[in-house]
Each structure stands twice: as C-alpha cells, then as structure tokens.
A and B are shown apart, each in its own frame.
Chain A
Amino acid sequence: MADRKSIVTAALLILAAAQAPAFAAGDAGKGQGVFKEQCAECHSVEAGRNRKGPSLFGVLGRAPGSVADYEYSDAMKANAEAWSEARLNDYISHPRRVVPGGKMKYDGLDDAGDRADLIAYLATLH
C-alpha cells in the first residue's frame, strides 16, 4: 500500500516538475489566440480599459485587485499574493477554488499547454 502511495506521489511530483517550467516556455503568439478565445470577452489588454473584468495590461507581477477604477469582489481585494506566473497558472485553472467568492465567472482552462502559452502572452503586456 505504502509503495503504491509513494509511486503515485512520485508520479505527481514528476508531473508537477514537468509542468513547472512549462509556462516559461510558452509561446506568446499562440497565447494571444488563447486569450482571444477564452478571456477577451471580459478582459481588455489596453491599460485603463475595463470590461466585465479589469484590464490585464501589466498583470504579471502586480498585486491582485489593484486596478484603481475597477470594482473588485471583496474576495479578490483580500487576496494578497501577487500575480506570479505560478499564481496566475493556479487561478486560471480553478478561479473559484483559488479565489473563493470572487466574481470571475469562468470555469477554468484545463489544458496546461494553453495556460503556458497564455501566461507567456500576458507576460508581454507591459
């Protein structure tokens, strides 16, 4: 039993390790397509332009809930951890789980490759 558990743990660790650098290696060009497909209806990438969600210009590295003229949920305002690549990856996978009570009505992007490309694209928005 213990053996099987550790094999599973090891497999998960390997998977996690394989995924961790993936977003660094994402393709920003493809990521723009993913953005248009999944996010653009609610987010602009122009500074100062909010839609249903806040502008994602310069989102990488910024503090959550920090676009001045956007009305965030209390849950997002209370979320302290800055938007690193890893944190974005988590949030985009499971918005409701990572920021419970947040108001982003998005079920999550399942494909890890798409997320990596997307984050590479978000990193170019400065």
Chain B
Amino acid sequence: MSARFLSPTLRRTPGAGRFLASFLGTALAWLALAAPAHALPSFARQTGEECAACHIGAFGPQLTPHGMRFKLEGYSETDGKSGKIPLSAMLVASSGHSKADGNSTPSLQEASLFLGGRLADHLGAFVQATTDGHAQGKFSMDNVDVRYARTVDLKDGDLLLGLSLNNNPSVTDPLNTAPAWRFPYMSAELQETPSPLLAGGMEMQVGGANAYALWNNVYAELGLYRTLPSGFLNDVNVDLPDQKISGVAPYWRLAYLKDNHKDAWSVGLMGMNTKLVDRITGGPSDKYNDIGVDATYTYLGDRKNIFGLNAAYMHERQTLDASDDGAKVNLNRFDVSGSWHYDNTYGLTAGLFDTSGTGSENDSRGYILQADWTPWGKEGSWGAPWANVRLGVQYTGYTKLGNYDDKASDHNTLYGFIWTSF
C-alpha cells in the first residue's frame, strides 16, 4: 500500500500476449497456494465480522462507515470471545506492461506481515512490515498506527476520544479520500505524478502523535510530526531522507461524517505546515503549506450494489529557501474516483487525477480504470474467514505528463495483480 513498494521492475520481454499468459499462470499458482492456507485476517477473526462489514467490496483498505468506526475505536472492538491473536499476512503478485517501459515479469510485488488488532482493552494496532521483490527477504517498516480510544456516554449519543502514534500524515484518517488510503489501493505507480508533501512525501520517515475526537458526526484531529531518528530508520530498513522536519510539523483534520446505514456522506478539510531543513547540516528551510478539501458519498443499500464517490483537492504553497533560492511554487492536485461493487464480489472503479501549478513540470493528468474480483470475504463464502483474495486488472492512462520528455501516452500501463491476505 505504500508507494515505495509498489514498483515492480519492468524488464523488457517481448509481447503483451506473453504477459497475459504468464499473468494468468501466476494467478493460478497463487490461488493454489492461498487456498489451503486457512490462516485468517486478524480483524475478521477478532470481531466475528465478515471482511465485507468493514470493507467496500469485501477487501481492504476501502472502508465502510462501520469500518471507519472500528478504526476510530482503536482496532480494539471484539465479539467478546478471548484468545485471538492479532497477526495477519499479505502477499501481492503482479505484472505490468507499458510502451515506454516494456513488460515486467510476473513477480512478488510485496509481502507484508501485520500486527493488526486488539492488544488490550481500548488499545489496538495496525503495524505493517513489508518486503518487496528486490529486498531479498529483508522486511522494512511500513504503515504504523497504534491507537488508544475511549467512548464517553453522553446523554444524546457519545463522544469518542482517541490517541494515535503513527508514521505517515493521514494514515490515521477514516475516510477513503485520505492521501494515504485513496484509490488506487494497489498499483504499479510507474510514473510518479507531482504530489503535495502531505500526500505521501514523508511516509515512514516521520513519527506523529495525534489526538482525535468524534462527536455528533464531527471528526477533529490534530497531529504533531517529527522526522524519526536516523538510527531508528536504519534499524527498521527505511531509507534516510535528505531533509528533516525542523521542529514539529502540525497536521490537522476536520470532517463531518454522516452514516445513515443505507448511505453515508462526508465533507472535510485537512492541512499541514512543514518546514524541511538539511538532515545533517540544518540551515535554511523549504516551507510547504498544504490545505485540502474532500467529500465522499457511499450508497450501501442492502449491500447488493454499493456505489462510492470520493473527491479530494489539495493546494500546496512552497517557499524553497533551502533548495531553490527562495522560489515560490504552487501545486494543486485533484483526485476523484467512482466505484461500483456488486455482491461484494465484482468491482469496477474509475479514477481521474489532475495536477497543476507553477512550472509545466507540475502539469499531469490521467485516469485509472480497474476491474476486480473478490470471491471470498463474506460470511459463509468459501475460505471465509480464513483467507481473502482479490484479483484485479488496472489500466492507467496519461494524457499529460509534464515531468517527462516523451509522449505521455507511452507511459500508459496495463497492470494485473493478485492480492491475498491471511
């Protein structure tokens, strides 16, 4: 799920036909492997709930309102039965093809281990360690979100209060518009398009202490982030950044979330102010001021047909005293996606992204289309609640890529993946 691990090497091998054949071959091999594994995604085991209760399309990470609640309650709700072990694993195999980069051989894209679930009353964790095809089995720290949450009963409704220690601004967010969690949930990400710093620019390299509250459908969160010590980043195999946060960088979030069970909607604001200086020498700083708005609508009905619409816009003002003689740069990023899931099994999603700003290198635009199949993850479905799998095909089209010299459409990428979790 973190962009760093989403890039399979594209080795040049001839022919898209061979790509399809080899992809299907690996697909079957993985299915055969996954089927008898009968390990179980730890959240489902802990809550007694089917994957589909918390995830749209019965597969993570796209959350239903119920799943958002579970996250905000600190991953600690249970069905009251004891003896649950909060461990899970995930494997992603994939293959990609684009004109500019050729074919990639189908390979293990990433494998993750999770500490996922309740550690004690009100205390829960989502901690991911990931390895990819090139790390030779070496795992590194991925998403970390450890939470403590309490609900206080007030006369009309209740007040939810929580704390989180985490390593990526917006990884704590419940909504599917959050930069850390929005569509595409899995991708080749072959072409890096410009993104505000808040949207993934500091993931895994920072530590945040956040406090949040949910009251009367109003969600508010405040987090303070610092770059993690180099020794620690070395220990957890995370590449050292060139720049570090000077002092602390505040992250804030305000959203209105309305869950009618039949449908749900939200509107929100998010922002962060960051000053980056050279990690070793300090000196002058680059300032990034980010502010974003987002909105979501989800129709759930009786869960036969689920429709989702997510839109987010973020504006960034950069003042680059350290790296560009005080240059002032603007960056805007817009993401929108619409999805339809049938029977929590078949899914179609279409997304658009558009970036613009100072300098033509910031202009990029494109679309992503995805079709996927999630055969399990429902109560009573074969393999449930032991294992879950999603097979997907994704096509990314670029109509503009300002930071590349060649034709944008040469980077259009066909990508297939098999994503399993236990």
Contacts and interface: CB of A to CB of B under 8 A. Distances in A.
Contacts of B302: 33-34, 36-37
Contact of A70 (B69, B80, B153, B156): B80
Interface in A46-68: 46, 49-52
Contact of A52 (B77, B153, B158, B262): B77
Interface stretch (B47-55, B239-247, B318-326): B47-55
Interface string B273-316: 00000000000000000000000000011110000000000000
Interface residues of A, number: 21
Contact of A38 (B77, B261, B379): B261
A96 B154 CA distance: 11
B interface SS class: loop
Interface in A69-115: 69-71, 96, 101, 105, 107
A38 B157 CA distance: 18
Contacts of A36: 302-303
A71 B80 CA distance: 6
Interface string B69-91: 10000000101110000000000
Interface in B123-146: none
A36 B343 CA distance: 12
Contacts of B156: 96
Nearest to B263: A37
Contacts of B64: 41
Contact of B262 (A37, A44, A46, A101): A37
A22 interface: no
Contacts of B262: 37-38
Contacts of B301: 37
Contacts of B47: 51-52
B81 A44 contact: no
A34 B77 CA distance: 24
Contacts of A107: 157
Contacts of A42: 66
Contacts of A37: 261-262, 300-303
A41 B153 contact: no
Given A37-B302, A44-B48, A50 B77 contact: no
A40 interface: yes
A50 B82 CA distance: 13
B303 A52 contact: no
Contact of B303 (A40, A44, A101): A40
A120 to B, nearest CB: 16
Nearest to B77: A52
A49 B48 contact: yes
A51 B261 contact: no
A50 B48 contact: yes
Report, nearest first, the 7 A-B pairs whose CB atoms are least far apart.
A71-B80, A36-B302, A41-B66, A50-B79, A33-B302, A41-B53, A51-B48
28 contacts: A36-B302, A37-B262, A37-B300, A37-B301, A37-B302, A38-B261, A40-B53, A40-B303, A41-B64, A41-B66, A42-B66, A44-B48, A49-B48, A50-B48, A50-B81, A51-B47, A51-B48, A51-B49, A51-B53, A51-B79, A52-B77, A52-B79, A69-B80, A70-B79, A71-B80, A101-B153, A105-B158, A107-B157
Interface of A: 33-34, 36-38, 40-42, 44, 46, 49-52, 69-71, 96, 101, 105, 107
